[in-house]
Amino acid sequence: MVNENRTQNGTPNATQNGTQKGSVRAVLFDVDGTLADTERDGHRVAFNAAFEESGLDWNWDVELYGDLLEITGGKERIHHYIRNYNPAELERKELDSWIASLHKIKTKHYVSLLARGGIPLRPGVERLIRELRSAKIKIAIATTTTEENVTALLKSTLGEDSLGWFDVIGAGDIVPGKKPEPDIYHWALRQLGLAAHECIAVEDSENGLRASLAAGLDTVVTVNDYTRQQNFSGASLVVSDLGEPTRPFSLLEGAAPEGGGEWVDAKLLSALKG
Ligand code: XBP
Ligand code: MG
């Protein structure tokens, strides 16, 4: 257990007025693009499999999907696609429930793709999660994706027990507003019983960063092919990935704290809180 009044090497880390300097109480992880690179070869493939199973001649290629990722939420993304690329479908009777049933088929395909071991965790993710757990720092999930998808990803990469490692899992429709709305981060902080200033978020996209910043969370961004060119102003640090001691990250924006390694660990996260 990390003693609130001492850092792990025993030096006091309280500031003059006694507030905890730089201690991170919880890390809130985004999922898609952050824990794993799930969009291009996971969700996109599952959407296309659902369209085919439903007899639709729709095909979201890599480039089009990159544009559609501007809209978070699978059901919202299908609706956006219809409005902007296939407006004739707007005439479909009970459009919303038809989209919901199409999305259910997509989720079925995505979950089975993950179960086949489809998508690995990104560099440093498992290491950081295990480190935070042993440092007794809480970990949470705050994602737009469907909870079933989170469960499938954690099971297929970290094993069944890993579901119990997370103090809070906030996903999908549990909140009314999806990223860039801050709803899911507010929800997760409430469940954690912590204030934003005690925590830090890890994200991959501009939508995600806008959501975490709006919730008052310092945020580390790990980019990927779909998000590299996006606007990450306000992020505490922008890096290629979380890195490993043997495979340092590339620092893209911001300054890694003094004395830290070139990988994201509990020490670096606390130092970022400064
Ligand atoms: C990413 C999303 C999700 C996924 C698809 O979520 O926006 O909508 O693209 O999953 P995050 P669903 O980056 O917040 O993890 O089809 O289940 O929505
Ligand atoms: Mg994401």
Is 274 a residue whose pLDDT tops 90?
A: no
Domains present along the chain, CATH in parentheses: 14-37+121-273 (3.40.50.1000), 39-115 (1.10.150.240)
Mean pLDDT of the chain: 92
Determine the average pLDDT of the residues in 223-243. 98
Is 73 a residue whose pLDDT tops 50?
A: yes
212 lines ligand 1 (CB under 6 A): no
Half-sphere exposure of 56 (CA within 13 A, CB side): 18
Determine the average pLDDT of the residues in 230-257. 96
Q: Is 96 a catalytic residue?
A: no
pLDDT digits (tens, 9 = 90+) for 151-202: 999 999 999 999 999 999 999 999 999 999 999 999 999 999 999 999 999 9
Write out the chain in H/E/C secondary structure. CCCCCECCCCCECECCCCCECCCCCEEEECCECCCECCHHHHHHHHHHHHHHHCCCCCCCCHHHHHHHCCCCCHHHHHHHHHHHHCHHHHHCCCHHHHHHHHHHHHHHHHHHHHHCCCCCECCCHHHHHHHHHHCCCEEEEEECCCHHHHHHHHHHHHCHHHHHHCCEEEEHHHCCCCCCCCHHHHHHHHHHCCCHHHEEEEECCHHHHHHHHHCCCEEEEECCCCCCCCCCCCCCEEECCCCECCECCCEEECCCCCCCCCCCCHHHHHHHHC
170 lines ligand 1 (CB under 6 A): no
pLDDT band for 15, please (50, 70, 90 cuts).
Answer: very low
Share of the chain above pLDDT 70, in %: 92
Q: What is the pLDDT of residue 20?
A: 45
How many angstroms does the Cα of residue 32 sit away from the middle of ligand 2?
Answer: 4
Determine the average pLDDT of the residues in 21-34. 91
Q: What is the pLDDT of residue 4?
A: 36
Give the environment of ion ligand 2: residues with CB less than 5 A: 30, 32-33, 204-205, 208
pLDDT band for 118, please (50, 70, 90 cuts).
Answer: confident
